[in-house]
Amino acid sequence: MTSGTEVRAFDIPAFKEVLRNASSSSNPAIESKPQVEYLESYFATIKPVTMVVEQEYIDRDFLEDYSAYYVRCFSPYSRFCKRILFFSESFTESDFMALLKGTVSPLTIQILKESFLGFMVLKPLPFSVIGRTCLKTFKDNGERTYPINRKYFAHLCGIELVVESLAFQEQDSVAGACATTALWSAFHATSRKFQHAMPSPFEITRAATTTGFNASRTFPNAEGLSIQEMAQAVRSVGLEPHTVAAGDEATVKSAIYAYQFAGIPILLAVELWDIEPAEPKIVAGHAMAITGFGVQGTPAIPVGPTKMLDESSRINRIYVHDDGLGPFARMEFDGKMVQTDIKNGVPRLEYSLSTTWKNDTGNTGSIRAVPKFLIVPVYHKIRIPMRKIHIEIAQLDHWIENIRVAGVLPTLTTRLNWDIRLVTGIDVKESIMGSSTIDPDIKVKVLTASFPRFVGKVTAILAGNPVAIILFDLTGIDQGKAFLTVIPLDSNFAANMKAVASEPTLEAAISHTPAWNVFSWFKDN
């Protein structure tokens, strides 16, 4: 809902001026904001040329927080926000007004639609001015992906504009701290995917702190949420929190790969460490929402004690909504370890990710993020964690590789690669329906079969070519058998596996393990 617009040429000084006017902040206050510095580099990449400023904009999220807290303050706060819409094409206010009047104008509705880069809501607060922000992501060059992005619609004077993004806003220490803001961004993805109500930051903090004892006040909320409170916030919208200990890179990467491809965001809790001093020091605990990831062009690398080749090992960076920086901030798995403790004279080293945070001396590059845990907000029918599927596949891969090395699987000229991700039964059938290489009889059998709503899809890949798909039921019970079926994609591989599985010695060796479920399928089919 708008009242009055202003068309301006975009540059950083003009952008900062709009921020100052919206928040009534001083110039030094705006200049010192790390979010503003980050956005300056972000804009240098997406290259806005023109911005349209809506002077009075009603934002639902801020209105909820306003009615719950700010309206009761002695000092007056406006309920109206401003909104900036960014465009990659140059046009003037007279061009825009001519378009609205229907007279001759070089600007067209099509130009507006095609050049739209996103929007930013500015809250009328002195410090936390950057509200709901949806900006176009960097170009996908084949090595980065943003699988949880969704479409956002902005209506400008009766013109519908669309951008694919995920909402971001900076921390409002009244309505909630970093964990609240990370949850808010994550819920923007899950509310569309799993059809739940979209809470405001104030509502998230209130839901998270409803149960349990907290010695400090709930609002203002500057201390942040505990892992238990974050989990409670997830449950408050009808989802279930899958909590994953982030003790090693392989676990974190496999979770990102499995859930993000399904369009599910992940909450990442870290400790920020400054490694510039001679003795590294912890800066703070921090939470953010993982919104995408990048992969290196090189093949998968061996991971874990069995040296399994997992496609998730190719992840070399993630993109996060970090309320202390900005949207889609880049963090890299660069192999650097951080000394976090010394016990009995032995330093404790933990893996870390790079950040673009600045330390107290103003240097970038010395603040490292040490992952502690992940929270995956999933639909309640997704009961089996993907970690269980990874463990079973690692065991299966171990047996297949031992047999291959022994020369009993001649079709396997090299070790298998594994692509493990969460999908729906419909996703499986759509991919099979669109395939022209699967045996027609197998295709009909799969398309007419009944599958649960959510499945773990594991693709076995040989020398770059998929040879089999293994499906697991994610809606069962953790103690039960998750294995569903195999979809053979290569007849030679299937025949070779059948021959091996028919050997009594193999059955005697592994029939007590989950790996036998797959071998048994090949034996009986």
Q: Which of 35-39, 175-179, 451-455, 459-463 has the lowest mean pLDDT?
A: 175-179
Task: Say yes or no: 152 and 18 in one domain.
Answer: yes
Instruction: Give the Cβ contact number of residue 256 at 10 Å.
Output: 20
Strands (E), 105-236: 116-122, 130-135, 144-145, 150-156, 159-165
Task: Say yes or no: 336 and 394 in one domain.
Answer: no
The three-point CA angle 226-229-230 to 5° equals 85
Write the Ramachandran bin of 80: left for phi over 0, alpha for psi from -120 to 50, otherwise beta: beta
Task: Say yes or no: 369 and 397 in one domain.
Answer: no
Residue 470 lies in a domain: yes
Residue 313 lies in a domain: yes
Domain boundary among 332, 351, 379: 379
Residue 188 lies in a domain: no
pLDDT for the residue 338: 94
Residue 173 lies in a domain: no
Task: Say yes or no: 354 and 409 in one domain.
Answer: no
Residue listed under structure tokens 């979809």: 487
Range of the domain at 359: 241-379
Task: Say yes or no: 517 and 410 in one domain.
Answer: yes
Q: How confident is the model at residue 220 (pLDDT cuts 50, 70, 90)?
A: very low
Residue type at 94 in one-letter notation: S
Q: Which of 126-140, 199-213, 422-436 has the lowest mean pLDDT?
A: 199-213
Task: Say yes or no: 21 and 149 in one domain.
Answer: yes
Residue 80 has pLDDT above 70, yes or no: yes
pLDDT for the residue 1: 39
Task: Say yes or no: 409 and 468 in one domain.
Answer: yes
Residue 218 lies in a domain: no
185-195 pLDDT, tens per residue? 999 999 999 99
Q: How confident is the model at residue 215 (pLDDT cuts 50, 70, 90)?
A: very low
The average pLDDT across 61-73 equals: 73
Helix or strand run (H / E) with residue 337: strand 337-343
| Number of residues assigned to the chain | 525
Task: Say yes or no: 17 and 143 in one domain.
Answer: yes
Per residue in 349-387, is it b (16+ CB within 10 Å) or e — as a string? ebbbbbbbbebeeeeeebbbbbbbbbbbbbbeebbbbbe
Separation of alpha carbons 109 and 105, rounded Å: 10
Separation of alpha carbons 282 and 176, rounded Å: 22
Domain boundary among 330, 348, 379: 379
- Better-scored residue on pLDDT, 213 or 272: 272
- Better-scored residue on pLDDT, 78 or 52: 52
pLDDT for the residue 172: 61
Task: Say yes or no: 353 and 467 in one domain.
Answer: no
pLDDT for the residue 341: 82
Residue listed under structure tokens 């996703």: 427
Residue 451 lies in a domain: yes
143-160 pLDDT, tens per residue? 789 999 999 999 999 999
Q: How confident is the model at residue 344 (pLDDT cuts 50, 70, 90)?
A: low
pLDDT for the residue 437: 84
Residue 260 lies in a domain: yes
- How many separate domains does the chain show? 3
249-287 pLDDT, tens per residue? 999 999 999 999 999 999 999 999 999 998 889 998 999
Which percentage of the chain shows pLDDT scores above 70? Answer: 92
pLDDT for the residue 174: 46
Task: Say yes or no: 399 and 496 in one domain.
Answer: yes
The average pLDDT across 433-450 equals: 90
Residue 265 lies in a domain: yes
Which percentage of the chain shows pLDDT scores above 90? Answer: 72
Q: Which residues contact 178 (CB under 8 A, 6 or more apart)?
A: 171, 224, 286, 287, 288, 323, 324
Residue 357 has pLDDT above 60, yes or no: yes
Q: How confident is the model at residue 345 (pLDDT cuts 50, 70, 90)?
A: low
Average pLDDT, the chain: 90
Separation of alpha carbons 267 and 414, rounded Å: 36
The three-point CA angle 301-306-312 to 5° equals 35
Domain boundary among 146, 162, 178: 162
Task: Say yes or no: 468 and 513 in one domain.
Answer: yes
Task: Say yes or no: 74 and 118 in one domain.
Answer: yes
pLDDT for the residue 448: 94
